[in-house]
Chains A and B, each alone.
Chain A
Amino acid sequence: MTAATIFFAVLFYAATVILVAGLAYKIVDYARTPAPLKIPTTPAPTTNGGVALRMLREVALFESLFKSNLWIWVFAILFHGALLLVLMRHLRYFTEPVWFWVGWVQPFGLYAGFAMVAGLLGLWARRFLVERIRYISTPSDHLMLALLAGIGGSGLAMKFLMHTDIVAVKAFFLGLMRFDIQPLPSHPGLYIHLTLVALLMIVFPMSKLLHAPGVFFSPTRNQADNPREKRHLAPWAAELDAKN
């Protein structure tokens, strides 16, 4: 057992705990904070079914962004869609036997790696080229893109430039899941890839990546437009009625 194996095992346990606990904390916090007023951006669906559909369009197709800016939409869809395929492709490292559809998605996931990096570079370019977006960009905005591009780049490098022993990598991760630590191949590309992934998991619950759970809690998108038909009252606001 090398020191690197132990280091990455500890790192991934820690990162997983931070990601899961951090996200759970944020989600519970969002869910517990009341939305005292009806503020859907109208025209809005009048039923809960309609709201679910609106949310689905927003999350799957980035409907509002499409209306807003075609360039950002193209790069964003490219990045997020590709990321989804890449994540599905990576499920093969965590399942034994590999689920049939994960096998089916493998070739798509491979090309998606390039699409993902292309999307990221497009988004990044806008931070330099568009004056308005340059103005609002903070160092963390650039670092986040660097982190994601680094993950994509190191992953592609391992596929096309310097192979690593992926059977051993899979054994390592299956081992982590069973609390039976297996040796991790000694490979600089792999070390870089895994360090960046762990970093991403750690910063997720305390960064703007919270937009992922956040969108589901956005009152302008998740409320039904029915204020005249149904009285909407937050607990702290209901107390005011009692005093009247």
Chain B
Amino acid sequence: MAAPEFDVPELKEFRTIPRLAPDVMAHSKPHVASEKINEAIGFPGELVENWQEKAIEKMGDLLGKYRSLKVYLDSCVHCGACTDKCHYFLGTGDPKNMPVARQDLLRNVYRRYFTPAGKLFPKLVGAKDLTRDVLDDWYRYFNQCSECRRCSVFCPYGIDTAEITMAGRAIMDSIGLGQKYSNEILGKVNRIGNNLGLPGPALEDTLLGLEEDVKEDTGVDVKFPLDVKGAEVLLITPSADFFAEPHIDSLIGYAKVFHAAGISWTLSSKASEAGNFGLFNGSYEMMRKVALRIREAALELGSKRIVVGECGHAWRVAYSYWNTLTGVGAGGDDPFARQLQSQLDQRYKQPMHICEFTWDLIQRDVLKFDKEANDHRIVTFHDSCNVARASRMGDTPGGQFEIPRNIIKTVANKYFEMPHGTTHEQTFCCGGGGGVLTDELTEIRVKGALPRMEALNHVVQANGVNFMATICAICKAQFTKVLPYYKFNRGMVGGVHQLVSTAIQLGDK
């Protein structure tokens, strides 16, 4: 690791609220998407000439389509309850990273162009013209938000800054000021089928290699099927699972679970990606387009069940939106939804999280474990924001917290919780979610990870924790990068199914 060009925050025993340091992160912004990248996904190549007019027009369009945006821009009373809740504020002290101040970047412009008070008395209510300076602030600070929704837990009106950030990014995309990282990925997923741009033949090779590795390791023929028609389960997983460390160990874990349970399954080369960056950019149409690949794959392969691998925002899109966007779910009585819903086996939840899938098998006593195989690990669990605050598992609210923990406690002996207020629905983001997982944003990512690192340090010091399990590809990639900045071993982070993989008994050895 090269020496950082910024000061890494110090880990303190008790979390403190920083003093305000105005504009201290004003230099942080992602690379602007090139003409080619923007045009490939239907946005203007570069900042359009009449951008101001177009931006206001787009804002009006979004205000008519999203009740959340309209209500949230009106309702804030500046009470300040959210001001100390954002990990990026806690890590930097930049006041524009306080959720309310981030929202105000958009709200001030909304007031100026859409409300009588802002039109008549702009100074009084803090309304602002959309100038180049304001646009630049949008680009900086809407790209320093991971859309983690922690603020929405604490707001007395449930104002969700993620909704505001998404609208801000959607407006910027519409005038040609897209962000390179997310928009490039959206191009790849549409063109090739996954965010990493891994083409079908390469994927096939990778999976064959994995079969050999697992055979060597265990002596068992665990399969990693691709494009198998008629397989019961279609597994949709983040493409990082195919080759990145530690992600791949969870993929091996899923395969072992399917093998041990004797349930036929397949991956799809067309839909070889669970991630959906359309969410991050606040584009319903884009998100729908990316999600439709999964619908098509399921229809082509004739799958009865759709299971989703370890990925936070993907699970949000799958759980909360797939039924809306693509009809994966139940209760649709329109022709579009019926086409898929009649094919899916409605005895099971559609879609199902891999943790729900595994936990169900555990409860039915289908899987056997050698718990001691994980005894070298002292485990804690990091709740990923989109799973914790934007989705559910199981039948009751909060299942998204219990089920992964239950699995961990089934497959490992040593487990410790991080401090109260840093887990469950109050979990702190890893610092890399929501479309900021790119190298030029390393500083904000490292600083944004501070609250999580402090919580982790707590259980490292007190309990000797050496493994932080999580069920999100972005969390895994982000922690692998930022852990060393805080003098932790990058290998500390891994998936829940990595633990499953270590302990599961395949039986037919």
The answer to whether B329 and A228 have CB atoms under 8 Å apart is yes
The distance in angstroms between the C-alpha atoms of A41 and B64, with both chains bound, is 22
Residue of B whose beta carbon sits closest to that of A50: B397
Residues on A with beta carbons closer than 8 Å to the beta carbon of B125: 138-140, 207
Closest A residue, CB atoms, query B160: A220
> Do A211 and B154 contact each other (CB < 8 Å), given the known contacts A42-B425, A227-B320?
no
Are B153 and A227 within 8 A (Cβ)?
Answer: no
Give the residues in chain B near A43, CB-CB below 8 Å: 392, 397-398, 400-401, 425
Using A136-B80, A143-B124, A231-B323 as known contacts, say yes or no to A36 and B329 having CB atoms under 8 A apart: no
How far apart are A118's CB and chain B's nearest CB, in angstroms? 17
Name the residue in A39, A135, A217 with the highest tally of chain B Cβ atoms < 10 Å from its Cβ: A39
Known A-B contacts A64-B158, A227-B320, A229-B331; the reply to A36 vs B79 at CB < 8 A is: no
A residues 119-138 in Cβ contact with B at 8 Å: 123, 126, 130-133, 135-138
Q: Is A219 an interface residue (CB 8 A)?
A: yes
Which residue of chain B lies nearest to A207 when distances are taken between CB atoms in the complex? B117
Q: From residue 281 to 300 of chain B, which have CB atoms closer than 8 A to chain A? A: 284-285, 288, 292
Given contacts A33-B70, A39-B68, A42-B388, contact A227 B324 (CB under 8 A): yes
CA distance A208 to B157 in the complex (A): 12
Asked if A65 is at the interface (CB within 8 A of a chain B CB), the reply is: yes
The answer on a CB contact under 8 Å between A135 and B101 is yes
Tell me if A35 and B80 are in contact (CB < 8 A).
no
Residues of B within 8 A of A101 (CB): none
* CB neighbors of B among A186-244 (8 A): 203, 206-208, 210-211, 214-215, 217-221, 225, 227-234, 236-238, 240-242, 244
Contact A138 B284 (CB under 8 A): no
Across the interface, do A214 and B324 meet the contact criterion of CB distance under 8 Å? no
- A16: Cβ under 8 A from any B Cβ: no
Q: A43-B398, A215-B158 are in contact. Are A233 and B324 (CB under 8 A)?
A: yes
From the candidates B75, B78, B285, B397, name the one contacting A46 in the complex (CB within 8 A). Answer: B397
In the complex with contacts A131-B19, A136-B104, A211-B76, A237-B83 CB distance below 8 A: no
Which residue on chain A has the smallest CB distance to residue B63? A33
Cα A136 to Cα B392 with chains together (Å): 34
Q: Provide the residues of chain A in CB contact with B330, threshold 8 Å.
A: 228-231
Chain B, Cβ-Cβ closest to A217: B71
Chain A CB within 8 A of B20 CB: yes
A44 touches B (CB below 8 Å): yes
11 additional contacts (CB under 8 A) given A43-B398, A214-B75, A230-B330: A33-B63, A33-B65, A37-B321, A43-B400, A58-B156, A137-B78, A207-B125, A208-B74, A215-B157, A218-B72, A237-B324
